[in-house]
Amino acid sequence: MNKHNLVLFSQNVRKNKILTDTILETQKNNADIILIQEPPQFCATCIPSHTNPNGDTPYCTSHHPDWVLFINSPEPKNPPWVSTYINKRVGKLRFSLCLDLINHRDINVIAFHNHWDTLHIINVYSDSNQTGLGVLRNNIRNLGSTIAMAGDFNLRDSDWDPNYHHHSNQTKDLMIIANSLGLELSPPLQPRTNKVCR
């Protein structure tokens, strides 16, 4: 499979489980990879624990039988802000979550294999303090062959929002990061704060 044949879908679901479940169901025959920002978080049934007499209450997010979920280990006080779903039909590309490159709740770096190459796709959520951008900037040297980066960067800019007439320093940072990875801006289908670089 050629890397350019992969279809990515990216959306901030604002912790909405129904929306996430709907995306997973409706995109199962269309998208190969779904990049979710602000995934839903809910408590699963308590499980026995060696350290907690009341049992542990693991935090979960949406699952679907046609998708493999990649998410950083949830912690009750520090839940992940991104989750990535890989359609099982493209599983032969051997996808993996690269916590050795970036291990942060705001970023998933997903690796896969295309012939002899290892390629990366990055899913990012950057809060109003631009935490995700800072983490990317500090780890840019670790991110080799990246074919796409998508997410919610919480940035308004005239480059992708015709109703906004300003540029910000954070936008410059994003473009420097994208350029360092050999990516260029791909405008969203509907102007919003979500951006894709490829």
pLDDT tens-digit map of 125-172 = 999 999 999 999 999 998 889 999 999 998 888 777 778 777 777 888
Structure token pair of residue 88? 């099982």
- What's the average model confidence in pLDDT over 20-30? 98
Pick the closest to residue 67 from 114, 33, 106, 117 (CA basis). 33
Q: Where are the domains of the chain?
A: 3-47+56-197
Least confident of 24-33, 38-47, 120-129, 165-174: 38-47
Q: What is the pLDDT of residues 179-195, one digit of tens each?
A: 999 998 876 565 554 55
Highest mean pLDDT out of 21-25, 171-175, 178-182: 21-25
> Is 116 buried (19+), middle (13-18) or exposed (0-12) by CB count in 10 A?
exposed
Least confident of 23-27, 49-53, 188-192: 188-192
Q: What is the pLDDT of residues 70-121, one digit of tens each?
A: 998 766 678 899 999 999 999 999 999 999 999 999 999 999 988 888 999 9
CATH 3.30.1490.20 fits 3-47+56-197, yes or no: no
Strands in 13-53 per DSSP E? 33-37, 42-43
User: In this predicted model, which residue has the larger pLDDT, 137 or 47?
Assistant: 137
pLDDT at 11 over 70: yes
What confidence tier does 27 reach under pLDDT thresholds 50, 70, 90? very high
Least confident of 2-6, 33-37, 68-72, 97-101: 2-6
pLDDT at 122 over 80: yes
